[in-house]
A and B are shown apart, each in its own frame.
Chain A
Amino acid sequence: MSHESCYHCGLPVPASTHFTVEIKGESQPMCCPGCQAVATAICDGGLSRFYQYRAANATRPDLSKQSVLEAYDLPEVQADYVEQIPDVSGKPSHLRIQLLVGGITCAACAWLIEQHLEKLSGILSVRVNVTNHRAVVEWDAQQLKLSELLKAFLTIGYDARPSSDEAARSLREKENRRFIQRLGVAGLGMMQAGMIAVGLYAGAFQGMDPVWQNYLRWVSLIIALPVVLFSAYPFFQAAIRNLRIGHLTMDVPVSLAIGLAFTASCWATVSKTGEVYFDSVSMFTFFLLLGRYLEMRVRHRNDSYAEGLGQLLPPTTTKLSEQGEVSVPVKSLQADDLIRIAVGETIPCDGKIEEGVSSVVEAVLTGEQLPVFKQPGDLVSAGTVNSENPLIVRVSAVGKQTRLSAILSLVEQAKTEKPVQVALADRVAGYFVLAVLFIAAGVALWWWQHEPQQALWVVLSVLVVTCPCALSLATPAAMAVATGALRQKGFLVSRGHVLEVLSSADQMIFDKTGTLTLGNMTIAEVIPLSGLSKEVLSKEVLSEKTLVQIAAGLESGSRHPISKAFSEIAEKIAVNNIEQQVGAGISGMVDVDEIPGNIFSATGLNTASGQIKVAIGQPSYITSLFDIALPVLPTNDATKLPLLLATEQGPLGWVLLQDQLRPGAAEAIRKLKSAGLGVSLLSGDRENSVADMAQKLGIEHWFGEMSPEQKLIQAKQLQQSGHRLVMVGDGINDVPVLSGADVSVALGDATDFARIHADSIMLSGNLDTLPNAIALARATRSIIRQNLIWALLYNLVALPLAAAGMIPPWAAAIGMSTSSLLVVLNALRLNRL
């Protein structure tokens, strides 16, 4: 493997390929035809500045998605997503749609999409939101079909789909806007109240006319009023809700401090006595809101990323009825309907094959990338993909009755049984709240007995000083910075507990298929054979290159995933009369002149055409086709798939295919082990191939031939013996165990379904991201601990002083804000790791 990486997506370029695109006058390497096509489209559109602007690599495009887009042109399907926009006179003039766009990594993506789409005729406006990965497009349906619109996204490497979570999205939008408003009011209030407080403090030192003091207090009261009533409202609401269910959370002392300080300050203003804390109240509210806002943003970002991707099944299918073939929405299918499934389509329901022989990729159920042979009478499942020939299927179950649905409910069940992670700060908060309340009560009692007129003000300063500002900022600030840093590394955190559990995890479990490998077959080895039959004129063998060229010619017409291994071979040797036997092999006729070296016996040839019959496939297929002896299998390595290439005169050679290891797999596992994690491999694949894989990568614990249920049981056993698990997987078959693990990581190219249900998503294809993420999570944990220790220390020092009545309001304000700032600055250090 070369060390060159793809200019578009950043993945390593396989040594055997030569894809390049000229960008800005320089030839840049590409890893696959997909990246090449996308980069070419970007440059042809004059948008190559994208590469200059971007802050992160693009994701590797998947060109196979194009075929299903036409379904979105059906009016029944569109009705769910598209909105009619009337013109001035009220007649419908154009359409608007909300799209969820996959593959947006930075602001330059938004630029690229908007520039590219605005050039299409028929597009009226495009607006891309980088935060929630949505695009709002208005277009003229007369000039442009919806499928063409979606195709335009694919051309530049983004996967856009109508977003179906409108309600959730607009709810998030509302929450976000309201939050920003609260933050704005608190921020402005903090500055204004602070400014006036400086006047008041200066007056307290230098002496000030009580009339002015009173005036300034009234002004601060007016400023603080909207801050407390509007900005701090969520804290009061949450505190009351938590008290009702008997929880002591951070909201309780926060509300107590804000509420009491504000009321007492109002009382001081009206009665012209005591101290006012309007500036501290506003500052609290602002800092605390900031912490909550950071938390909310992380949550929203992940929600909006995960939602709407849940479309496992196509929106429409082709139904065979008396009127012929009609396109109907999948929703309308019933048992016993006949449907036709074209090559490359996802099967929308469970059913029995009536007509057609094909192979079906059942990766969605089993994780196995190689297709399964299917003939009339065989059962097919919803979510699997037809890969070779059209099939006619009689529907047996739709919707909830399908096997797919059964797996989904297993997932839901596993999720509810998942161990609950209580965040460290919340655990601290409970004790902290109790301690503060007890101390405040004690202080109140003591002062009440000794100096009753001072009691209220001293208790107040205790509450203000101990207000857990720094404490409640400690975690969200560090989390927000760490989440951002991880996102830049290509690791998306979707659930709140991920960082905390990643830092303490001690077991990492991989699923072999697609997790440690790329899931596409490549040629591992070519072994020429010289065993041509007795009448052979020459004992020469064909060169490896020639063998591969013949194989590529044979495979050129096939859509079987195996044929992809040959798709990148240049100068294929032409084969005609190709006959394919599904799931077994391919045969065809080749001109003898095309094959270098004169090695064939003249007697066996079809002299009229000068052609010879060649075939490639499983050894059993070859022996059934030709009357030749089977050569010895060249390898026992179960991770390799042997294909035999032969003519009717004898075998020509072996072509061994192998699933490629993911870049950085061995390295990542070594690093994980040195970080103290146990690494294990639970796979649904054959025992010996799992063993080979485990040995190659240095994994000691492995299990093969495991069903999703067994994996889940295995994971649970590990959890019960006290381990904390990180599960890395990609197929639907992994989803139950993904959901059951303490933290789950889905790969970026995993099925949408696995991505939605995983706690985190690894966007970069490089497994090295995993040890990096663990390291960052551990750093985050130590930063959070430092922050919490600092916040508690500050409180320990300030509390006795406040209890002794020695902290004036200005000192409380300074102490509180510096401790909060320190916590935030400390968290920012995570960015530099």
Chain B
Amino acid sequence: MASLYLLIPVSLIFCALAIAIFFWAVNSGQYDDLDGEGERLLFGDDDLEEKSDDSGSDDLKEKKETSDD
């Protein structure tokens, strides 16, 4: 039972950490759009039809390169 004297304060520290991370996430705008983000991952951009792969992939590649710079 004596271990509770250590374990509960440790859990409180974890709580405080979780809150700190949560505050950071909110402030960096991750919770600004609660309607869109939840569904965004359902619309993968890797499975566009072939048509776009012909015309769009080069542009996308170029963009990747420039953003890496």
A contact residues vs B (CB 8 Å cutoff) = 44-49, 53, 106-108, 110-111, 115, 118-119, 121, 124, 128-132, 173, 176-177, 180-181, 184-185, 188, 192, 212, 215, 219, 222-223, 226, 297
Contacts and interface: CB of A to CB of B under 8 A. Distances in A.
Contact of B48 (A47, A107, A124, A212): A47
B19 A111 contact: no
A118 B38 CA distance: 21
A107 B56 contact: no
Contacts of B18: 188
A77 B63 CA distance: 29
B12 interface: yes
Contacts of A226: 19
Nearest to A172: B32
Interface in B1-60: 1, 4-5, 8, 11-12, 15, 18-19, 22-23, 26-27, 31-36, 38-40, 42-43, 45, 47-53, 55-56, 59-60
A45 B31 contact: no
19 contacts: A45-B52, A46-B52, A46-B55, A108-B39, A119-B55, A129-B32, A131-B35, A131-B36, A132-B32, A177-B27, A177-B31, A177-B32, A180-B31, A184-B22, A188-B18, A215-B5, A219-B12, A222-B12, A226-B19
Contact of B38 (A48, A49, A107, A108): A107
Contacts of A212: 1, 4
A181 B39 contact: no
A185 B16 CA distance: 10
Contacts of A215: 4-5, 8
Given A118-B63, A177-B27, A188-B19, 9 more contacts: A49-B48, A49-B49, A53-B42, A53-B43, A115-B45, A130-B33, A173-B32, A176-B32, A188-B22
A293 to B, nearest CB: 10
Residues of A contacting B: mostly = helix
A207 to B, nearest CB: 14
Per CB-CB distance, the 3 closest pairs between chain A and chain B, nearest first, are: A46-B52, A130-B36, A107-B39
A49 B51 CA distance: 12
A106 B43 CA distance: 12
A108 B43 contact: yes
Given A48-B49, A188-B18, A110 B36 contact: yes
A223 B55 CA distance: 56
Interface residues of B, number: 38
B48 A110 contact: no
A184 B26 CA distance: 10
Interface of B: 1, 4-5, 8, 11-12, 15, 18-19, 22-23, 26-27, 31-36, 38-40, 42-43, 45, 47-53, 55-56, 59-60, 63, 67
A128 B36 contact: yes
A46 B48 contact: yes
B22 A181 contact: yes
Given A119-B56, A121-B59, A188-B15, A107 B26 contact: no
Contacts of B63: 118
Contacts of A110: 36, 40
A118 B58 CA distance: 12
Nearest to A125: B67
A44 B11 CA distance: 55
A119 B59 contact: yes
Contact of B33 (A49, A124, A131): A131
A179 to B, nearest CB: 9
Contact of B26 (A111, A119, A181, A297): A181
B15 A111 contact: no
B32 A131 contact: yes
Contacts of B39: 53, 106-108
Contacts of B45: 115
Contacts of A45: 52, 56
B12 A131 contact: no
A44 B49 CA distance: 10
A111 B31 contact: no
B57 to A, nearest CB: 10
A107 B39 CA distance: 6
Given A107-B38, A110-B36, A131-B35, A181 B23 contact: yes
* Most interface-central of B4, B18, B50 (chain A CB within 10 A): B4
Contacts of B27: 177
Nearest to A297: B34
A215 B23 CA distance: 29
Contacts of B35: 107, 130-131
B36 A185 contact: no
A297 to B, nearest CB: 8
* Most interface-central of B12, B35, B49, B55 (chain A CB within 10 A): B35
A624 to B, nearest CB: 56
A16 B29 CA distance: 49
B61 to A, nearest CB: 12
Given A121-B59, A177-B26, A188-B15, A46 B53 contact: yes
B56 A46 contact: yes
Nearest to A187: B22
